[in-house]
Amino acid sequence: MADPASSHAQPSGATGVLVLSDGTVLWGRGFGHIGSAVGEVCFNTAMTGYQEVMTDPSYTAQIVTFTFPHIGNVGANEEDVESQVESAVGCIVREEVTRHSSFRAEREFGQWMAAHLKIGLSGIDTRALTRRIRMSGAPNAVIAHEPHGNFNLPLLLKQAQEWPGLEGMDLAQRVSREKQETWEGGRWQLGTGYSEASREARPHVVAIDYGSKDNIFRNLAHAGARVTVVPAKTTLEEVLALQPDGVFLSNGPGDPAATGAYAVPVIRDLLDRDVPIFGICLGHQLLALAAGAQTTKMFQGHRGANHPVKRLEDGIVEITSMNHGFAVDSATLPDSVEETHVSLFDGSNCGISIRGKKAFGVQYHPEASPGPQDSFYLFERFVGMLARENA
């Protein structure tokens, strides 16, 4: 492989660079945090919600390429942050970030990125990069920003090549809460912000946090649940001691098989005790593993807010928001598991239910905000099921 320092001349004014593990070097203009970070390069097709994407823990150790060219033009605010823990390390955009034009903005996107230690790179042909990912898979890379344009390309290439990648990596422990907490917030409304959750007697949901988005808990509370959030490695005994009416399995980053080493035994025991369970994204994959299925690393993954999913029970198509690089392998589903939803993009599994149990999961994000709202009913279905059991 050619030395990137000699085969890729740095253009004038370049203050940012993306170095892929195969030696490809893409020059651009850096913004946000000054420094470098390694991760997997993926792409997201959503036209809105870039701040929610950048604070979703499911993007931990990833560099997000936005296919929509105008990212950052509505600025940033603290209300749209999905989580305060680790998430995407950087983003790649086509057009230079302009001044914000939203009454909700509290600061410029670049300022927000710098404050949250995230590196941005503009001026990249994101269409070409996206096509490369679609044809060759998601590559490992280093993204770097240095205002004077001083880069050690051989060192950046070495870092990209030595990074092991997401397969086999358990990231849930890095982004999970460290201690139990009672969830207080409700859903957001323009002009009033986030409401407070009702304190009336409600079904109790214990939510296991593998790298959750806060809007999931808001929607559980809005649907009528009292929510207690617990760390990823909470034991079965600790979960049962909270006397849950149901257990929720959250989204999160990394390889579900790796996280499953400690999560699956707990979920399997909960199933044996007929505890109602609802899982989203990584939680869906962990539920499938506990039921005897397998997961697999996807070639390019699903990330965006316009993914059509067919609900098999009635043929209705839901437009969904997705963010996952691993998937449940439909061919490995045992007879005890019913496939309930499939992607209309590639036919991959997007939902399951466990026969004879009150347990189901979906691969997509019904809580997406902003995003499609076709799937909000799943929170009401889960909480309603618990309420009927308590009636």
* Number of residues assigned to the chain: 391
Which pTM value belongs to this model?
A: 0.95
Q: What is the pLDDT of residue 49?
A: 94
Domains annotated for the chain, with CATH where assigned, are 4-162 (3.50.30.20), 172-390 (3.40.50.880)
**DSSP codes joined into one string, 362-390:** ESS-TT-SSS--TTTHHHHHHHHHHHHHH
The per-residue pLDDT for 5 is 38
Regions in the chain scoring below 70 on pLDDT: 1-7, 197-199, 201, 391
- Condensed to tens digits (0 to 9), the pLDDT of residues 253-279 reads 999 999 999 999 999 999 999 999 999
**pLDDT score, position 232:** 98
Residue type, 322: M
Q: Is the preceding peptide bond at 372 cis, omega within 30 degrees of 0?
A: no
Compute the distance between CA of residue 25 and CA of residue 2 in angstroms, rounded to an integer: 11
3-state secondary structure of 343: strand
Q: Quick: pLDDT tens for 329-359.
A: 999 999 999 999 999 999 999 999 999 999 9
- Give the residue numbers marked as catalytic: 281, 365, 367
| Interacting residues of 62 by C-beta distance below 8 A, sequence separation 6+ | 39, 40, 41, 42, 88, 89, 166, 253
Q: Please say whether the dihedral angle defined by the alpha carbons of residues 81, 86, 92 and 95, taken in this order, is positive or negative.
A: positive
Beta bridge partners of 19: 25, 142
Q: Helices then strands (H, E): number in the chain?
A: 11, 19
Share of the chain above pLDDT 90, in %: 90
